[in-house]
Amino acid sequence: MGDRQLETLTFHNTYARLPEAFYAKLNPTPFSSSPYLVSFNAAAADLIDLDLREAERPEFTALFGGSMLTPAMEPLAMLYSGHQFGVYVPQLGDGRAILLGEATNARGERWDLHLKGAGMTPFSRDGDGRAVLRSTIREYLCSEAMHALGIPTTRALSIIGSDEKVYREQVESGAMLLRMAPSHVRFGTFEIFYYRRQHEHLRVLADYVIDHHYPHLREAPDKYAALFAQVVERTARLIARWQAVGWAHGVMNTDNMSILGLTLDYGPFGFMDDYDAGFICNHSDHNGRYAFNQQPFIGLWNLSCLAQALLPLAEKDALKEGLDGYMPLFEREYRSLMRAKLGLADARDQDEELIRDFLGLLQGSHADYTIVWRELGGFLSGRGMVNDRLREHFLNRERFDAWAVQYAERLRAERSRDDDRQQAMNRVNPKYVLRNYLVQAAIEKAQQKDFAEIDRLLALLQRPYTDQPGMEGYAAPPPNWGKHLSVSCSS
């Protein structure tokens, strides 16, 4: 557990040492009304050795509510561009977020402290630079839920609320989220210097990323192509994990893709309730570009944009070789994750068919993705055994019975023991995920200044694989009002 006070946090800002073309230096804009602490995440505080009692001090609320800085902070808004829904936008950048600096822990690890909702920047375009309580709660809870699921992601330290009014589809309360990551460099950070033909800046950026985040590549013979290959691998593994857990990003623009392979920028997102391969979680995505089943292909498309941006630094053939490795990497990782979800110890040729047919059963029955996978752990593989509880989830019972025979034969072929397998499956098939209706309930209470549900969900989601007494209702399917909740880019 950390023991540092706010004043003793060790700060750097290596990004501020880059040329001025990379950012705009400015301070956060404080709220017009008194800020207050909504929620504090002890697990994230540990990452920077911050004493948990610091959250009780008014200085904490002032610092992460935008009205105070420590002397070592060098706040700035990062510049980038990106392809948004397939169309290149020449300049984006941090329009409502400010990088305060990098906090260093006792192990020498550096964490960007990125304050979202910190006010207007030169990159705000027509925006107000603010975030609303609703969106900060969604990101705060989901980033921590994803981390607990073993999915690379940004983290979140705190939410600071206010009574300042912010206008979205309706009037809402303003809030600030303190987001943490080893880096906030995006694919779009490279794209802007490519399209501006500022190739020396492109080289400086690539060297910066290598030095700070891929140091083993410093002496590589073709280090920029090697960097790209590493990003390809991390992105493939990331999206395979999204697919396995049934999660959709919603806005997979290149400016929302991390150079470290982290889940970045939680706007409209969704864990699936009823399984639907074509699930669209963003009601602004009218053509389904970022539908659940399109995510692997959009990952490839986005990587091709990054490869193009790196053309001034690396040979085309070398970049193409890295890009060509994406789909095999993704498919290999995805099959491995899905075999684990099925409790299979070995890889065999028929596994792909077994996975595909089970997903087809889920789709045809509108079965709950999380619940059915969890219950599959209790599958009885002995000859003549019945799995009535699991069977009830499927409309086409005969089709399920046929699949169950194949599955049982496959388990017996590797001498799988039901009890041992269930324990292993329960470690990869979560019982609790952040369903949209759960976070909506927390938001509605928070809007009435009741923040207890946020903390309750945070604690629950930090142990998603563990049965938690008294919390069974959080593992239940959503009520009718909670299905297909509309979530937009303002979320």
The chain-wide mean pLDDT, for the chain, equals 95
Torsion of CA 303, 307, 310, 316, to 10 degrees: 160
**Bridge partners for 160 per DSSP:** 37, 176
pLDDT (tens digit, 9 = 90+) per residue, 451-477?
A: 999 999 999 999 999 999 999 999 999
Helix axes 397-413, 351-365, angle to 10 degrees: 150
**Burial class of residue 406 (count of CB atoms within 10 Å of its CB; 0-12, 13-18, 19+):** middle
Q: What is the mean pLDDT of residues 178-197?
A: 98
Q: What is the mean pLDDT of residues 133-147?
A: 97
* Contacts with 62 (C-beta within 8 Å, 6 or more apart), sequence order: 35, 68
CA dist 300 → 2, 233, 252 (Å): 40, 11, 11
Q: What is the mean pLDDT of residues 205-226?
A: 97
The pLDDT assigned to 488 comes to 63
Q: What is the mean pLDDT of residues 152-159?
A: 98
pLDDT (tens digit, 9 = 90+) per residue, 233-243?
A: 999 999 999 99
Q: What is the mean pLDDT of residues 33-47?
A: 96
Q: What is the mean pLDDT of residues 24-32?
A: 95
Residue 213 scores a pLDDT above 50? yes
* Least confident span in 330-334, 385-389, 439-443: 385-389
- pTM (2 d.p.): 0.96
Spatial separation of the C-alpha atoms in residues 233 and 330, rounded to whole Å: 8
Query: 3-class SS at 150?
Result: coil
The pLDDT assigned to 386 comes to 84
Instruction: Return the higher-pLDDT residue of 196 and 34.
Output: 196
Spatial separation of the C-alpha atoms in residues 367 and 349, rounded to whole Å: 26
- Report whether 177 contacts 156 (CB < 8 A): yes
The pLDDT assigned to 483 comes to 76
Q: What is the mean pLDDT of residues 65-78?
A: 92
Residue with tokens 């699991």: 390
Residue 486 confidence class, pLDDT cut points 50, 70, 90: low
pLDDT over 90 percentage in the chain: 90
The pLDDT assigned to 489 comes to 60
Residue 1 scores a pLDDT above 80? no
Q: What is the mean pLDDT of residues 424-451?
A: 97
**Bridge partners for 165 per DSSP:** 173
Residue 490 confidence class, pLDDT cut points 50, 70, 90: low
Query: 3-class SS at 163?
Result: strand
Residue 491 confidence class, pLDDT cut points 50, 70, 90: very low
| Chain length of the chain | 491
The pLDDT assigned to 242 comes to 98
Spatial separation of the C-alpha atoms in residues 56 and 62, rounded to whole Å: 11
Spatial separation of the C-alpha atoms in residues 228 and 378, rounded to whole Å: 42
- Report whether 313 contacts 216 (CB < 8 A): no
Q: What is the mean pLDDT of residues 384-401?
A: 93
pLDDT (tens digit, 9 = 90+) per residue, 78-135?
A: 999 999 999 999 999 999 999 999 999 999 999 999 999 999 999 998 889 999 999 9
Q: Which helix (H) or strand (E) covers residue 115, if one does?
A: strand 110-116
Question: Is residue 255 annotated as part of the catalytic site, yes or no?
Answer: yes
pLDDT (tens digit, 9 = 90+) per residue, 306-354?
A: 999 999 999 999 999 999 999 999 999 999 999 999 999 999 999 999 9
Nearest to 78 by CA among 211, 228, 186: 186
The pLDDT assigned to 385 comes to 81
Tokens found for residue 160: 């600071």
Considering the candidates 255, 265, 285, 368, report the single residue annotated as catalytic.
Answer: 255
- Backbone CA torsion sign across 183, 189, 191, 194: negative
CA dist 334 → 98, 124, 241, 242, 330 (Å): 35, 38, 7, 9, 6
Tokens found for residue 186: 């995006």
**Phi and psi at residue 81, to the nearest 5°:** -125, -160
The pLDDT assigned to 4 comes to 80
